[in-house]
Amino acid sequence: MSIPAVVAHGGAGAGPERLANVERAVAIAAGMLESGGSAVEAAVEACVVLENDPAFNAGTGSVFRTDGSVLLDASIQVSDGRMGFVIAMEDTPNPIRVAADLLDEEINGLTGAGARAWADAKGFANSPVEGRPPFKEATDTVGVIARDRSGSIACATSTGGCSDRPPGRVGDVPLPGCGFWVQKGVGVGATGIGEAITRGMLSYRVAERILGGDDLEESIMWALEECLEDGAEVGIIALGSEGTGHGLANSENMPWSSWIARK
């Protein structure tokens, strides 16, 4: 039997003043895991807390694209191989719930109007996301990784996209191996400049280092130092098959928090 744990972040550029907001989400996940909840349930519900918090560029706090639209991405992957992701959804306060609904479907991902039509058919909330103007912290997406008593690991991520980006732009959050990667024994989530994360295939490469024997901090530091172009603000969280999760960024601006159950 595994020891439940969770680690979450509020984005590479969110700022340390938002740590308490992330800690609230972690507390929700911790309570669910202690009560016997699954890694998927804990990761999704903690991510919903962050989507509902206007302090973050995800869900209700998402920024406008250059044409004034608000388009949301989200993803989830489980260590048993299942995944779901949605891209460029409108009128969806909690896109992570829609992504999670795809875990047991034949398809992995949906985008745009098709994703919203799927959500409507399934009864997910359809309501305007008001959005907010672009701001200097362009990279504060959210992410949660949870491990339950069975050893299952799940990573949930959500974003409104970087500030000052066009409506068709796709960042790292919904791309497997880039903004997220989970397989047996490890889960990784990235945040920051999505193009740099995607070019570096960052989450997958960190996971491979961890499975190869490096510890979480070593693996994250290696990726931040060796897999990114200069000047790309990026943060990473990771959780293994045992022990506490860890987070690290190449700036001091990423709020992150972890929890592990007592033995």
CATH number for the domain harbouring residue 256 = 3.60.20.30
For 135-168, b/e burial (b = at least 16 CB within 10 A) is: eebbbbbbbbbbbbbebbbbbbbbbbbbbebebe
From the number of C-beta atoms within 10 Å of its C-beta (0-12, 13-18, 19+), residue 253 rates as buried
Residues labelled as active-site residues: 141
Q: Is-contact 51 62, C-beta < 8 A?
A: no
Q: Is-contact 19 11, C-beta < 8 A?
A: no
The residue type at 241: S
Written as six digits, the tokens of 220 are: 């994250």
- Rg of the Cα trace of the chain? 16
- C-alpha torsion sign, points 32, 86, 254, 57: negative
10, 142, 258 from 98: Cα distances, Å: 20, 16, 25
136 Ramachandran zone, left/alpha/beta (phi>0; psi -120 to 50) = alpha
Which domain, by its residues, includes 103? 5-260
Residue-by-residue pLDDT tens, the chain, 263 positions: 899 999 999 999 888 899 999 999 999 999 999 999 999 999 999 999 999 999 899 999 898 888 888 999 999 999 999 999 999 999 999 999 999 999 999 999 999 999 999 999 999 999 999 888 766 555 568 999 999 999 999 999 999 987 677 888 899 999 999 999 999 999 999 999 999 999 999 999 999 999 999 999 999 999 999 999 888 999 999 999 999 999 999 988 899 999 999 97
- What is the number of structural domains in the chain? 1
pLDDT for the residue numbered 140: 65
